Amino acid sequence: MLTFFVALTQQMALSHLSIKPGDCIKVKGKIEPDAKSFALNLGRDGSDLILHFNARFESLGDVRTIVCNSKVKREWGSEVRESIFPFEQGEQTKLCVHFNAEEVTVKMDEGHEIKFPNRLGLETAEYFAVEGDISVRSVKFD
């Protein structure tokens, strides 16, 4: 188990990881009071992502919407929009991200979860990043 404790906004990127199917990445943070959006990225690197999870309070034409996508060789796939939105500006949040060969699951507050297909078919993730309007308190790899 690896745990990081940080207090920063805007961006945190970890690379050279060895995240296996079934491992859980737990993120605890506080959403900024004037947050527009925040994102979690999981993949091989910043150019190849199994998951781009983007919670949008009011950003890029979306309001209180979660947009999920994947990226292959810097090219975005087709977006999937979710109406579940358990986040509040200025509040604490906890997320758990895990994947297998078929899909990625993001567990959120209030028992909500989103499943997104593992379009890249990756069996190991080496990159994890958090960006946007969230102050990360801790990242724990179980």
* Domain boundaries along the sequence of the chain: 2-141
Distance of CA 135 to the CA centre of its chain: 14
Query: What pLDDT score was predicted for residue 32?
Result: 96
Q: Thinking of the domain 2-141, which architecture would CATH place it in?
A: Sandwich (2.60)
In angstroms, the Cα distances linking 61 to 23, 36, 68, 89, 132 are 34, 11, 15, 18, 16
Say whether 110 sits in a helix, a strand or coil: helix
Query: What pLDDT score was predicted for residue 6?
Result: 42
d(CA 20, CA 38): 24
Confidence (pTM) = 0.91
Whether the Cβ atoms of residue 75 and residue 68 lie closer than 8 Å to each other: no
Query: What pLDDT score was predicted for residue 11?
Result: 80
d(CA 83, CA 141): 28
Spell out, as residue ranges, where the chain has pLDDT lower than 50.
Answer: 2-9
d(CA 62, CA 66): 9
Whether the Cβ atoms of residue 107 and residue 95 lie closer than 8 Å to each other: yes
